[in-house]
């Protein structure tokens, strides 16, 4: 039986609202020691802002007082919590991303999985297959 995303995702997702400014989002990321924040609307993910997004925005002349809504990635790639870990890896490789919001079957945000989490999962799978 293949291990699922739910077993390796982090359920404490750092979220922000789309009306937050870039400076505030960067501060939240720094204080939480994370590389991305999920922009939520209600209980559903609306977008994601990563360290790369902030750097690109500043490089393109955006100000720190501009809103997260202006720089977030809205073509959000998500993965269901009951999907196999290899599905997350496949999505990350295909879309060249390092963080995936995890949703339930109704699209509600349940967690986040990073490439680091996937690597740990695959390492565990590999270790277990040796015995």
Cβ(100)–Cβ(77) below 8 Å: yes
Task: Provide the pLDDT confidence category of residue 2 given band limits of 50, 70 and 90.
Answer: confident
Residue 3 gets which letter from DSSP? P
Q: Which helix (H) or strand (E) holds 116?
A: helix 115-129
pTM for the structure as a whole: 0.83
Instruction: Please state, as a whole number, how many other Cβ atoms lie within 10 Å of the Cβ of residue 77.
Output: 15
Domains of the chain: 5-129 (3.10.580.10)
Cβ(59)–Cβ(104) below 8 Å: no
pLDDT of residue 87: 94
Mean pLDDT of the chain: 91
Distance CA 10, CA 113 (A): 6
The two tokens of residue 98 are 């390092």
pLDDT of residue 123: 85
Distance CA 51, CA 107 (A): 24
36-41 and 44-50 beta bridge pairing:
antiparallel
pLDDT of residue 43: 83
Task: Provide the pLDDT confidence category of residue 63 given band limits of 50, 70 and 90.
Answer: very high
The two tokens of residue 7 are 């077993």
């Amino acid at each position: 039986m293949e291990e699922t995303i739910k077993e390796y995702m982090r359920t404490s997702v750092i979220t922000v609202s789309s009306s937050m400014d870039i400076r505030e989002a960067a501060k939240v990321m720094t204080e939480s020691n994370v590389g991305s924040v999920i922009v939520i609307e209600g209980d559903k993910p609306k977008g994601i802002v990563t360290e790369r997004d902030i750097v690109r925005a500043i490089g393109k002349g955006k100000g720190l007082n501009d809103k997260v809504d202006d720089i977030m990635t809205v073509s959000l790639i998500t993965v269901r919590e009951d999907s196999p870990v290899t599905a997350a890896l496949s999505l990350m490789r295909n879309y060249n991303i390092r963080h995936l919001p995890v949703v339930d079957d109704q699209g509600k945000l349940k967690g986040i999985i990073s490439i680091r989490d996937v690597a740990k999962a695959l390492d565990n799978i590999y270790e277990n297959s040796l015995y």
